A and B are shown apart, each in its own frame.
Chain A
Amino acid sequence: MEDKIKEYEVVIGIEAHAELATKTKIYCNCSTEYGADPNTHCCPICTGMPGVLPVLNEKVVEYAVKMGLATDCEIAKFSKQDRKNYFYPDLPKAFQTSQFDLPLCINGHVDIFVDGVKKTIGITRIHIEEDAGKLIHDEFTGSTLVDMNRCAVPLIEIVSEPDIRNAAETIEYMQTIKGILEYLEVCDCKMQEGSLRCDVNLSVRKWGAPNFGTRTETKNLNSFKSIQKSIEFEIRRQIEELENGGTIYQETRRFDDNLGTGYAMRTKEDAHDYRYFEEPDLAPIVLSDEYVNNIKNNLPEMPNVRRARYMEQYMLSEYDATQITNSKRLANYFDKTVSLCNNPKAVTNWIMGDFSKMLNELNLEINDSKIVEENLANLIKLIDTNVISSAMAKKVFIEMFETGKDAKVIVDEKGLVQLTDESAILKIVEEVVNSNDQSVSDYLAGKDKAIGFLVGQIMKLSKGKANPTTVNELLLKILEAKK
């Protein structure tokens, strides 16, 4: 099967939906704050009662233009809103007010880095629209419950060109988009709260085939893990289907995180004639050059600029700089930690290494962890001043992550201060050398690897506290003397 997969080219286009961090909804003054009790952030307008009319939130336009400018889009001089008509219980008006053929932003792009290689992903368009409500399935009573708090929360839909070719690129793309949204502060990007999610349009074709294959759309993915798994699943599914002589149907799909499988939604054949027409209750949007330039001139430092700065100022590799600057929160964390311990390389290594690993396992963001910038800085300082060894630091870090205690506190509590006193180490080295004749002989006979065993014994005897560098120095000295 793996060989078969290699015969196919995968084509992916992403539609990302980002909830804008405005205070109020797109067409009414209800709060957009997350987590309220059901149906407590509602009014006749966002719940589609008879007789109501929408009024557009000025910040929605501003935020959409910001994102457009940050992704190098052309901002439309004239744009309008349209009704997309369909029936679903989470859509009170039975139409979604969106933008059909004249969106606010078009023809942009972002650059992503995969395995150090830069690739440009085109952005077809960015438009404004309203979110739908939430349907909750009550397991106990069997009912479907409708919560309209999320109705009319403003969204921007960011549509990419089908330039993406695999899951890794998709993740990078979404990370990049997320990064920009955070930098602009137009979206809080809390994926677990649903404020950033995406639909994956995917098709496959044999390499060299002239036309695209039929694509499916997997909707509403809201974690990088599920994006990755759903893409892998769908690639496999489509190729298997084609290899078995089957057909790929253009359908809407979902991905079940728990089961790890995708499934098609039951659609009716004529389901999607949306009968778009211009929203008669909303005036067109005509943006002057002045308006656009004003926003352009006030954009914050963009991720790619910050990335370049890190590479130059801190000598970070392009890869490391990209990873860190992709998230504004991460970059800010980095900056603060570096300012406290003055060791950008170490900070980078910790963030890119153990810290990242542990955060990803728990699907956490850096600001959600118990380790604040001061803690990490202190840990690095302890290593730099040789108070603890790097090996010991790894253990301390785990404890910091779990308890939130400062490194110094943990080291003191557990008595982990590194043993640096040469004479003390020498004593232990001599003891180990004297009780391990065989290993010593092996080493002297040319088996270099035997030294590892001796080092291990020394570390054991010193309860891991001996400074490894000193240990190595002294051990070699003694062994050399025996030659």
Chain B
Amino acid sequence: MELYSLTIHEIAKKIKSKEVTIREVLDSVYSRIDNLESKVNAYINLTREYAYITADKLQKRLDLGEDIGFLGGVPIAIKDNMCMKDVKTTCGSKMLENFVSPYDATVIERLESLGAIILGKTNMDEFAMGSSTESSYFKKTVNPWDITKVPGGSSGGSSVVVSCDMAFASLGSDTGGSIRQPASYCSTVGLKPTYGLVSRFGLVAFASSLDQIGPFTKDVTDMAIMLNAIVGHDDKDTTSVNLDKKDYTKSLINDAKNMTIGIPREFLKEGLNPDVKEAFDNSINKLVELGAKVIDINLEYIKYSLATYYIIATAEASSNLGRYDGIKYGYRTDKFDNLLDIYTKSRTEGFGEEVKRRIMLGTYVLSSGYYDAYYKKAQKVRTLIINDFKKVFEQCDVIALPTAPNTAFKLGEKSSNPLEMYLEDIYTVPVNIAGLPGISVPCGFDSSNMPIGLQFISSAFEENKLLQLAYTYEQNTEFHKMKPNI
């Protein structure tokens, strides 16, 4: 069995027991990358040299009997919107094509302090705006299950590398579904933590009140391990919470008997692909078999989530992306006659279509005369959605939904109509609006053998419930063992 195909918990053990050296693990993963990268285009940038230097340092310490951390020697990939010191952080954009960050994101500091080795930065939709990774300036990542199809987005690269064993785990970011949807499209486990659980310091901001960093892993056990690694208060992020640290591996219990699962049947009535519906129904039946109780729940305002999202997210994004102005760093146009030119040309040339569209939309909803009708109104509807969820969680432990209404679509299929693309986020967006945690686990395949994801949502800070239910489901199914034939 190839080393690269193992899970974190398996490889970490082998490294610690010295059954394998860290170098051997890296060799295995990098040769896998070298083999597949030209087919899937998942990495923007590999940090090979740095990885090997780190590996040698860790090995030395390990050989001396030191504790190198519970992720000691484990190679991990990072979505390219998280700043990494002395490494290019491009956000998939021409605007930051050559930007070298002088500092590390807090999550990277944490991972490295626990012994993880960063393999490289993965491809993404430009500035995390998209659901297919097609808007990346650099390359088009493809779905390893069918290379004519998209991997999902915006964290497409991060999902693909885990799906293809080109990393043991990866980090992505999720603002409206950008971890969960690509996880479901590529058959990986993806989790968006409760807003505030993971530090955003160093995550290039898209929508400040919605963004969260989360892991992609091969199984739920690894997910618990990764959460242990990245969760925790950060003084540098005032939106990060200060709670007692949980050990998420304690939630890896194979037992659904005391779980009540709520399903918003009304919401699932329209727009759901029949194969996805079938896989979803089967999953629920499985969980019932395993002892879970299922009830119907009603989320009155959930259907307004997409509208609310596109107002709030674009408004915040329009402000967050103002700093990309051609003045201090990043792309600057080379032909200009005045200051307005520097700004306008740099931004017009440096940003792609989707980014420009969202900036304009965000500017519009915040502009004088429209602020109350759009932005303020959306913030009020947000309150309604949050309260909706709070009420529902009084009746159930977890909400279950398909992660996405469809499986992966063909490259180019939805590029011409942004609205169509946005509708792919319909089941994931409400979770970000409410700041809740959500996990996607593989739960089947459609008639073209494309992966389908099952999503669980819990109340704030109850990732333990998500992990328990997901673990139970996983341990009683075989979907997580399937790998793409690439």
Q: Which residues of A contact B (CB under 8 A)?
A: 44, 47-56, 83, 85, 87, 89, 92-95, 146, 273, 275-277, 280-283
B322 touches A280 (CB 8 A): no
Judging by beta carbons under 8 Å apart, are B328 and A280 in contact? Answer: no
Task: State the CA gap A85–B319 with chains docked (Å).
Answer: 7
**Which of B56-64, B175-183, B231-239 forms part of the interface with chain A?**
B231-239
Complex Cα distance, B375 from A277, in Å, reads 9
A281 to B240, CA, bound (A): 10
B366: Cβ under 8 A from any A Cβ: yes
A275 pairs with B328, CB closer than 8 A? no
Q: Is the interface of B mostly helix, strand, loop or mixed?
A: loop
**Which of B97-105, B282-290, B389-397 faces chain A?**
B97-105
Interfacial chain A residues near B319, Cβ < 8 Å: 83, 85, 94-95, 275, 277
Contact A281 B325 (CB under 8 A): no
- Could you say which residues of chain B place their CB within 8 Å of the CB of A95? 319, 322
> Can you name 10 A-B pairs with beta carbons within 8 Å?
A49-B102, A49-B103, A50-B89, A50-B99, A51-B105, A53-B237, A53-B238, A53-B239, A275-B367, A281-B239
Q: Which B349-386 residues sit within 8 Å CB-CB of chain A?
A: 363, 366-368, 371, 375
Cβ A93 vs Cβ B322 within 8 A: yes
B366 touches A275 (CB 8 A): yes
A265 vs chain B, min Cβ distance (A): 13
Binding stretch for chain A, among B185-193, B199-207, B297-305: B199-207
Residues on the B chain within 8 Å of A53, using CB: 200-201, 236-239
Once the chains are docked, how many angstroms separate the CA of A87 from the CA of B209? 23
Contacts A50-B323, A83-B319 given: A275-B238 contact, CB under 8 Å? Answer: no
Of B201, B239, B343, the contact of A87 (CB 8 Å cutoff):
B343
Could you say which residues of chain B place their CB within 8 Å of the CB of A146? 327-328
User: B318 contacts which chain A residues (CB < 8 A)?
Assistant: 85, 275
Q: Which residue of A lies closest to B203 (CB)?
A: A51
Contacts of B469 in A (CB 8 A): none
* Alpha-carbon distance A53/B315, docked complex (angstroms): 18
* Nearest CB in chain A to that of B239: its residue: A281
Complex alpha-carbon distance, A48 and B325, angstroms = 11
Interface-central residue, B96, B99, B329, by most chain A CB under 10 Å: B329
Task: Tell me, yes or no, whether B83 is within 8 Å of chain A by CB.
Answer: yes
Given contacts A50-B89, A50-B204, A283-B239, 11 further A-B contacts (CB under 8 A): A49-B103, A50-B83, A51-B81, A51-B83, A52-B201, A56-B238, A87-B343, A89-B327, A275-B318, A275-B363, A275-B371
Question: In the complex, how many residues of chain B place their beta carbon closer than 8 angstroms to a beta carbon of chain A?
Answer: 42
Q: B235 contacts which chain A residues (CB < 8 A)?
A: 55
Contacts of A56 in B (CB 8 A): 238
Picked from A48, A51, A89, A283, the residue with its CB within 8 Å of the CB of B101 is: A51
- For the complex, give the distance between the alpha carbons of A50 and B315 in Å: 17
Q: Determine which of B96, B102, B238, B322 lies in contact with A94 in the assembled complex, contact meaning CB atoms within 8 Å.
A: B322
Q: Report which of A55, A89, A94, A280 forms a contact with B236, defined as CB distance below 8 A.
A: A55
B196-223 interface with A by 8 A CB criterion: 200-205, 208-209
Cβ B328 vs Cβ A273 within 8 A:
no
Which residues of A have CB within 8 Å of B367?
A: 273, 275
Chain B residues closer than 8 Å to A52, beta-carbon distance: 201-202
Q: Is the CB of B238 within 8 A of A48?
A: no
Q: Does B425 contact A (CB under 8 A)?
A: no
B363 contacts across to A, CB distance below 8 A: 275
Q: Which residues of A contact B82 (CB under 8 A)?
A: 51
Give which listed residue, A44, A50, A281, contacts B238 with CB less than 8 A: A281
A443-B40 Cα distance, complex, nearest whole Å: 116
User: B243 on the interface (CB 8 Å rule)?
Assistant: no
Shortest Cβ gap from A87 to chain B (Å): 6
B316 within 8 A of A: yes
In the bound assembly, the distance between CA atoms of A431 and B83 in angstroms comes to 94
Q: Does B1 contact A (CB under 8 A)?
A: no
Nearest CB in chain B to that of A27: its residue: B238
| A277–B366 CA distance with the chains assembled, in angstroms | 8
Q: How far is the CB of A43 from chain B (nearest CB, A)?
A: 8
Tell me if B329 and A49 are in contact (CB < 8 A). yes
Considering the chains assembled together, what is the distance between the CA atoms of A342 and B276 in angstroms? 95
Cβ 8 A contact of B208, one of A47, A87, A93, A280: A280
Nearest CB of B to A285, in Å: 12
Question: Which residues of the partner chain A approach B96 to less than 8 Å between Cβ atoms?
Answer: 50
With the chains together, A308 CA to B425 CA distance in Å? 69
Closest Cβ of chain B: how far from A146's Cβ, in Å? 7
Interface centre among B208, B236, B319 (most CB of A within 10 A): B319
- Please give the distance in Å from A273's CB to the nearest CB on chain B: 5
The answer to whether B200 and A50 touch across the interface, beta carbons within 8 angstroms, is no
Q: Is B91 an interface residue (CB 8 A)?
A: yes
Q: Which residues of A contact B89 (CB under 8 A)?
A: 50-51
Q: A55-B236, A92-B323 are in contact. Are A280 and B99 (CB under 8 A)?
A: no
Chain B positions 228-270 with a Cβ under 8 Å from a chain A Cβ: 235-239
- A50 with B101, Cβ < 8 A, contacts A275-B367, A281-B208 known: yes
CB distance from A63 to the nearest CB of B (A): 20
Q: Contact mask B322-355 → A, CB, 8 Å, 1/0? A: 1101011100000000010001000000000000
**Nearest opposing residue in chain A for B210, CB measure:** A280
Interface readout for B301-323 with A: 1 if CB under 8 Å, 0 if not?
00000000000000110110011
Nearest-neighbour CB distance to chain B for A239, whole angstroms, equals 32
Query: Which A residues lie within 8 Å of B366 (CB)?
Result: 85, 275-277
Q: Nearest residue in A to B234 (C-beta to C-beta)?
A: A53
State whether B371 touches A277 (Cβ < 8 A): yes
Q: How far is the CB of B131 from chain A (nearest CB, A)?
A: 22
Q: In the complex the two chains form, is B202's CB within 8 Å of A51's CB? A: yes
Task: Tell me the bound Cα distance from A427 to B195 in angstroms.
Answer: 98
For B103, the chain A residues whose CB sits under 8 A away are: 44, 49
> For residue B89, which residue of chain A has the nearest CB?
A50
Determine if B238 and A55 form an interchain contact, defined as CB atoms under 8 angstroms apart. Answer: yes
A136 to B367, CA, bound (A): 32
Q: With a CB–CB cut-off of 8 A, which chain A residues contact B204? A: 50-51
Q: For residue A51, which residues in chain B have a CB less than 8 angstroms away from its CB?
A: 81-83, 89, 101, 105, 201-205
Q: Which of A53, A87, A92, A146 has the most CB of B within 10 A?
A: A53
Most chain B beta-carbon neighbours within 10 Å: one of A56, A89, A282: A89
**Complex Cα–Cα for A275 and B209 (A):** 17
B103 to chain A, nearest CB (A): 5
The reply to whether A48 and B343 contact each other, CB–CB distance below 8 Å, is no
Q: Which chain A residue shows the least CB distance to B95?
A: A50
Q: Are B328 and A277 in contact (CB under 8 A)?
A: no
B346 to chain A, nearest CB (A): 11
Q: Which 8 interchain pairs have the tightest Cβ spacing?
A: A94-B322, A275-B366, A280-B208, A50-B204, A280-B209, A51-B83, A51-B202, A48-B323
Inter-chain contacts of B325 with A (CB < 8 A):
87, 94
Shortest Cβ distance from A151 into chain B, in angstroms? Answer: 10
Write the nearest CB–CB distance from B273 to chain A, whole angstroms: 35
The complex places the Cα of A280 from the Cα of B367 at a distance, in Å, of 17
In contact, A50 and B371 (Cβ under 8 angstroms)? no
Q: A55 to B91, alpha carbons, bound, how many Å?
A: 24
The chain B residue sitting closest to A56, CB to CB, is B238
With a cutoff of 8 Å between Cβ atoms, the chain B residues found around residue A48 in the complex are 323, 328
B220 → A minimal CB distance (Å): 29
User: Can you name the residue of chain B whose Cβ is closest to the Cβ of A50?
Assistant: B204
Bound-complex Cα distance A55 to B105 (A): 16
A45 nearest CB neighbor, chain B only: B236
User: Closest residue of chain A to B208, judged by CB?
Assistant: A280
Bound complex: CA of A85 vs CA of B96, how far in Å?
21
